[in-house]
Chains A and B, each alone.
Chain A
């Protein structure tokens, strides 16, 4: 009897709590503008994800301080997807079905958005992220995915800029390329790099691949080293790029390393003395005057330096909130239509105008940065010849 009574009391309490929680949730969706963000807060890209989540947070706070949006305060729901596509899809569904978010910001990785693009078509809540893989925004040439928007250069633009700069400005001719076959972003950059290099008189002397979770790259690097390239090309996310760079230097490969924006801070802190003779393409220069106010505010608030992702988190949110404002409602489809007409939205990194057939800006000019003895030095903006 006692057991049954206890069980009964417990279930009433649990039910009550559940009821209370769901009513507050419902209240939230009516009196607030709910937006969501999906970030990698505890997986291999957590350093980036946390930074980006903070950027999103800061943009939302800025808007709320100025009186919110459509006369309501903005509520931000953040989910961690641990760089796991399945978790990310669950988070998107939860944001749409339970939290009733009207727009989803982020995440930065192509793999997840590639998977989300068709799902968003069905659930009809727009996503504003920065997938570089063009397939994440383009369904077929000339036809974009309906509900995905991107604020970053494509892998092609990255690959071309890296190759153009290495060949034309640094005068390098022979490249060894190592990339993760399962990482859509890295594989696409590698492909663009190799195509551009071959078309511009350079040679790919060795092409090596690996997979997620691989940690020992000495077999591949030995292979590459044997072909005596002028430079090593590493289009990979933070952790594996750091391991590759470190292992290459440990094996005595002191040749220049060419990469995408994964070499932004905190890379130098992670690889110590290996951080030398590295050239990489980034979205912005850290000494850009446009960024200084944000950087100072971020540092004061969180006690650490922001990574490039924080700027993107802020900008993506800005683009999304701007669209809600122009749509004049929290109806996701109206927001989607407003997003497609994004024009001259001034962010931290760029001023964004989306091409309606691409769902991303038409052309970017990237910045080349080099690392010399552990110091970041901005080389300048660079646009490769076609």
Chain B
């Protein structure tokens, strides 16, 4: 029973990681760099959701929708200012990487300067905070995180496989240059990719905020997404999901059975093991490495 409870905790944690890592992997698959500015989008969305839900007493679902939209828009703006000039200049991926780190540090310092290092709590969206199933007590936020994360991932799957722009994104993930020759608008494809990843960041920002309080360094959790994508195989979406669930479960179980101070050692050693022995990650085990779910 205790193990089951811990597995649910792990699943819930893993599903938030999955939201982060899929947004992260999406950018990697198209532009081939680790976008740490993803953390800024998460952080800004968390603050935005906090502000809107306190100011206008919006319901959870409306807040979720607005956060997702805000995340998408912020990501598109960040791409326009921080990445597009580099791409048009034909700069190497290292410039994208440096730019993304600069952006994330900029926003973190900006929020710290603006609001101080204080942290804020979301108001309670529900009267009851838990669901009881016999002896199992599951926090509402865990259930919700799980449902919404799955929903968001299915939505992404739909866009990628059933829409023209999705097909274009998948084509671009193989090669950014050829679609251009065939008359596809690469700028638009990249913008939409960033919008989609921003939507995921917006949703994860809201859930991280609800679960963990809102503070300027909350975007730092993008590192978990990064670890998950390395485990899953950089650029692979299904790998990112599996990596995230594995990481969430692993962290929870290690914390429960070996103690919380050992957990980071676990997370980073598993990342190293994958980097050294299986750089193509879990996705590589199945022989696919391009954008696939």
Which B residues lie within 8 Å of A220 (CB)?
255-256, 260
Stretch of A18-26, A40-48, A122-130, A143-151 lying at the B interface? A40-48
Assess the A272–B121 pair: CB atoms within 8 A: yes
Assess the A214–B116 pair: CB atoms within 8 A: no
Q: Verify if A13 is at the interface (C-beta below 8 Å from B).
A: no
Question: CA A41 – CA B251 in complex, angstroms?
Answer: 32
Assess the B260–A211 pair: CB atoms within 8 A: yes
Question: CA A272 – CA B213 in complex, angstroms?
Answer: 12
Chain A CB count within 10 A is highest, among B213, B215, B255, for B255
Which B residues lie within 8 Å of A250 (CB)?
129-130, 139-141
Q: Verify if B112 is at the interface (C-beta below 8 Å from A).
A: yes
Q: Verify if A98 is at the interface (C-beta below 8 Å from B).
A: no
Chain B CB count within 10 A is highest, among A43, A47, A250, A270, for A250
Take A211-B261, A239-B213 as given contacts and tell me if A222 and B9 are in contact as well, using a CB distance cutoff of 8 Å.
yes
Take A213-B220, A216-B211, A251-B139 as given contacts and tell me if A43 and B130 are in contact as well, using a CB distance cutoff of 8 Å.
no
Q: Verify if B155 is at the interface (C-beta below 8 Å from A).
A: no
Which A residues lie within 8 Å of B10 (CB)?
219
Provide a sorted-by-A list of 12 A–B residue pairs whose CB atoms are within 8 angstroms. A41-B117, A42-B113, A44-B215, A46-B118, A209-B260, A211-B263, A215-B212, A219-B10, A222-B6, A246-B121, A252-B132, A270-B120
Number of interface residues of A (CB under 8 A): 40
Which B residues lie within 8 Å of A45 (CB)?
117
Q: Verify if A82 is at the interface (C-beta below 8 Å from B).
A: yes
Q: Verify if A271 is at the interface (C-beta below 8 Å from B).
A: yes
Assess the A242–B121 pair: CB atoms within 8 A: yes
Chain B interface residue bracket vs A: 35 or more
Interface of B is mostly: helix
Picked from B217, B253, B259, the residue with its CB within 8 Å of the CB of A208 is B259
Residue of B at shortest CB range from A239? B119
Assess the B252–A210 pair: CB atoms within 8 A: no
Picked from A208, A213, A270, the residue with its CB within 8 Å of the CB of B121 is A270
B 172-215 to A, binary, CB cutoff 8 A, 1 in contact else 0: 00000000000000000000000000000000000010011101
Smallest CB separation, B249 vs chain A (Å):
10
Q: Verify if B94 is at the interface (C-beta below 8 Å from A).
A: no
Assess the A41–B116 pair: CB atoms within 8 A: yes
Which A residues lie within 8 Å of B163 (CB)?
none
Question: CA A40 – CA B215 in complex, angstroms?
Answer: 15
Question: CA A42 – CA B110 in complex, angstroms?
Answer: 11
Take A42-B116, A46-B117, A215-B221 as given contacts and tell me if A252 and B137 are in contact as well, using a CB distance cutoff of 8 Å.
yes
Residue of A at shortest CB range from B12? A218
Assess the B130–A251 pair: CB atoms within 8 A: yes
Q: Verify if A341 is at the interface (C-beta below 8 Å from B).
A: no
Which B residues lie within 8 Å of A41 (CB)?
116-117
Q: Verify if A11 is at the interface (C-beta below 8 Å from B).
A: no
Question: CA A211 – CA B264 in complex, angstroms?
Answer: 9
